[in-house]
Amino acid sequence: MLEVINLEVAYGAIRALSGISFTVPQGRIVALLGANGAGKSTTIRAIAGLVPVKSGRIVFQGEEIQGRPPHFINRRGIAVCPEGRRIFPNLTVLENLLLGGYGRKDKDSFRQDITGVFRIFPRLEERRHQRAGTLSGGEQQMLAIGRALMSRPRLLLLDEPSLGLAPLLVREVFHIIERLNQQGTTILLVEQNAFAALNIAHYAYILENGRLVLEGPGPELLADPHLREAYLGEGLDF
């Protein structure tokens, strides 16, 4: 569904990604793991059209999308749940969700999707008319995911959805990600929380300093001694 080929991204003189290639097959959860500064967010931002691609190609459903503006890429069916949630604090919960489905003309199913998001995240429904800035961190994360779902994405890019959440909430969020995937959404999951991500990912890539250094099926990497060594010591277990 998504194919990234020799992707290179630089911020001025700083090279953030030096030619990475990976694929996200339809219906899968693919995890992109790595330490802070490895280039995970840069990868997501490049796919979403937020940072210019220096070289390489990004192919989504047979169409090259590198160099296209973010709104174009969103309309093609890619939604992003950005790092740090980035909900609109001055808008209400409901307004955040409505904006997530910007440009949709199908009024009836649009309403249904809002109900659907409220079914997944009942706490959002209780707070629907509250300013999003007043939500707790966990609720904001749920809103960010719900907002991304409102465009009915074929591919959902999640950038560190567990960041800053209490362990219990992390588990809940990952369950929800798994459920969304079972309902048909393809997912690219970026995480520092490697073990939590590997538990639900079908396939995973490990990113280090802008290069992919390891890849394999989730359970296989979970058993990998090198990976355990690299990540267990950093307390990224859950």
Partner 1 sequence: MDIVTLVQQLVNGLSLGSLYALIAIGYTMVYGILRLINFAHGDLIMVSAYVAVMGVGLFSWPWPVAFGLAVVLTGLLGVMLERGAYRPLRRAPRISLLISAIAASFFLENLFLVLAGGRPKPFPTPPWFAGVLKWGGVFIPRLSLLIPVVTAVLLAALFLLIQRTQVGRAMRAVAHDLETVSLMGVNVDRIISLAFLLGSLLAGAGGLLWAMKYPQVNPFMGIMPGLKAFIAAVLGGIGNLAGAVVGGLLLGLLEIMIVAFFPAWAGYRDAVAFGLLIVILLVRPTGILGESLGEEKL
Closest C-alpha among 15, 69, 62 to residue 42? 15
175 binds partner 1 (CB under 8 A): no
151 contact, one of Mg ion, ligand ADP, partner 1, none, CB 5-8 Å limit per kind:
partner 1
Closest C-alpha among 159, 149, 143 to residue 191? 159
37 contact, one of ligand ADP, partner 1, Mg ion, none, CB 5-8 Å limit per kind:
ligand ADP
Chain residues binding ligand ADP by CB under 6 A are 11, 14, 16, 34, 36-42
The one-letter amino acid at 27: G
Question: Cα–Cα distance between 143 and 133 in angstroms, integer?
Answer: 11
Least Cβ distance, residue 91 to partner 1 (angstroms): 6
Structure tokens at 124: 């959002």
Closest C-alpha among 182, 156, 170, 214 to residue 34? 214
153 contact, one of ligand ADP, Mg ion, partner 1, none, CB 5-8 Å limit per kind:
none
The one-letter amino acid at 123: R
Closest C-alpha among 170, 176, 167, 126 to residue 146? 176
Least Cβ distance, residue 94 to Mg ion (angstroms): 29
Q: Stretches 19-27, 42-50, 56-64, 115-123: which one binds partner 1 (CB under 8 A)? A: 42-50
Nearer to ligand ADP, 93 or 158 (CB): 158
Nearer to ligand ADP, 42 or 140 (CB): 42
Residue carrying the six token digits 């949709």: 104
Q: Stretches 74-82, 117-125, 163-171, 200-208: which one binds partner 1 (CB under 8 A)? A: 74-82
Q: Which residue is nearest to Mg ion (CB)?
A: 41
φ/ψ region of 77 (left if φ > 0, alpha if ψ in -120 to 50, else beta) reads left
Closest C-alpha among 30, 67, 16 to residue 156? 30
Query: Who's near 92: CB < 8 A, 6+ residues apart?
Result: 128, 129, 130, 131, 132
42 contact, one of partner 1, Mg ion, ligand ADP, none, CB 5-8 Å limit per kind:
ligand ADP
Nearer to ligand ADP, 58 or 114 (CB): 58
Question: Cα–Cα distance between 178 and 27 in angstroms, integer?
Answer: 11
**Which of 80, 117, 169, 170 contacts partner 1 by CB under 8 A?**
80
Backbone angles phi and psi of 117, in degrees to 5: -65, -40
Least Cβ distance, residue 207 to ligand ADP (angstroms): 7
Binding residues for Mg ion (CB under 5 A): 40-41, 83
Binding residues for partner 1 (CB under 8 A): 48-50, 69-71, 74-75, 79-80, 82, 86, 88-91, 95, 98-100, 102-103, 147, 151
